[in-house]
Amino acid sequence: MSTRATPRETGLGARDVTLSYGGAPVVRDVSLDIPHGGLTMIIGPNGCGKSTLLKALARTLRPDSGTVTLHGRDLRSYRGREAARHVAFLPQNPIAPEGISVRGLVRRGRYPHHTLLRQWSPEDDVAIGDALERTGLHDLAEARVSELSGGQRQRAWIAMVLAQRTGTLLLDEPTTFLDIAHQYELLELCHELHRDGRTVVAVLHDLNQAARFATHLVVMKDGRVVAQGPPPEVLTSRLVEDVFGLACDVVPDPRTRTPMVVPHARFPTDRPEPEHA
């Protein structure tokens, strides 16, 4: 299985990156390129380093060794606001300030564009309005974030990073705590953003969702990238068993023809075995 991405135009990548939180490495010697304008999904078992790698790509975690690059330049060489004008990051479980409205939260996405010489402008209002419209929150703009449902709250955070108007969005487990309908709604939005030309990178747990929406999969195990590439080339029954310990068949999704993981039964049932032609 391939561990290198096919060379493509890219703005964000990692070279021989090792990451830790002051102890043993969590991510070891990882190299990858994020395809420009693609929808990249990072998958792997719990604790394999997915979120840690995303933090490094977002400049919130400094590598112990190796380099994260943005447009061919060391990401650490960018000033904070400068980097935030290129890359937006939504971590797991973000916390909104008490009492803040949806509009107030989304406004925060415009802060990287402000300087002493450039304060609030009509462009900011347009960006906020577009983000609220895109996420279906225009009618809830004045509601408090704390009063929203889980799905609405997640859309408010997505609206904030959309208002940032960066070319690249990094989303860490954005579907967590959402019901199934809202999960697909959010992934459809990610697909639309990618179709509009943005580079979107998301950490996901659901293999079938990742395979359905991704243009590029990155598979991690034990702190390393073990495969990356288009989902039909990467997601095989052998890989799923090797990485996740799950015996399965990988068959075409009947709706999208993308790879779909069908686990083998682990316990006896009294259902008849399906007949095979």
Its pTM stands at: 0.88
Q: Cα–Cα distance between 51 and 243 in angstroms, integer?
A: 17
Is the same domain home to 67 and 176? yes
Is the same domain home to 97 and 143? yes
Task: Examine the pLDDT at 245 and tell me if it is beyond 70.
Answer: yes
Once rounded to an integer, what is the mean pLDDT over residues 228-232? Answer: 96
pLDDT at 251: 97
69: domain CATH number is 3.40.50.300
pLDDT band at 8 (very low <50, low <70, confident <90, very high): very low
Is the same domain home to 202 and 217? yes
pLDDT at 119: 76
Is the same domain home to 174 and 106? no
pLDDT at 77: 92
Is the same domain home to 100 and 78? no
Is the same domain home to 137 and 14? no
Is the same domain home to 56 and 171? yes
Is the same domain home to 132 and 160? yes
* 78 lies in some domain: yes
Q: Collapsing DSSP states into helix, strand and coil, what is residue 50?
A: helix
Distances (CA, A) of 228 to 7, 27, 244, 274: 12, 16, 16, 33
Q: Do 188 and 234 contact (CB within 8 A), yes or no? A: no
pLDDT at 179: 87
pLDDT at 272: 62
* 36 lies in some domain: yes
Report residue 212: phi and psi, to 5°.
-70, -40
Task: Examine the pLDDT at 118 and tell me if it is beyond 80.
Answer: no
Total count of domains within the chain: 2
pLDDT at 5: 37
Arithmetic mean of pLDDT over the chain: 90
Residue among 29, 2, 35, 36 nearest 15 (CA): 29
Is the same domain home to 57 and 100? no
Report residue 59: phi and psi, to 5°.
75, 20
Is the same domain home to 7 and 77? yes
pLDDT at 122: 86
Provide the residue range defining the domain that includes 105. 87-165
Is the same domain home to 157 and 175? no
Q: Collapsing DSSP states into helix, strand and coil, what is residue 275?
A: coil
* 265 lies in some domain: no
Q: In this predicted structure, which of 2-6, 88-92, 113-117, 189-193 has the lowest mean pLDDT?
A: 2-6
Q: What is the pLDDT of residues 185-208, one digit of tens each?
A: 899 999 999 999 999 999 999 999
Q: Cα–Cα distance between 203 and 214 in angstroms, integer?
A: 11
Task: Examine the pLDDT at 253 and tell me if it is beyond 80.
Answer: yes
pLDDT at 10: 52
Once rounded to an integer, what is the mean pLDDT over residues 258-273? Answer: 79
Is the same domain home to 203 and 66? yes
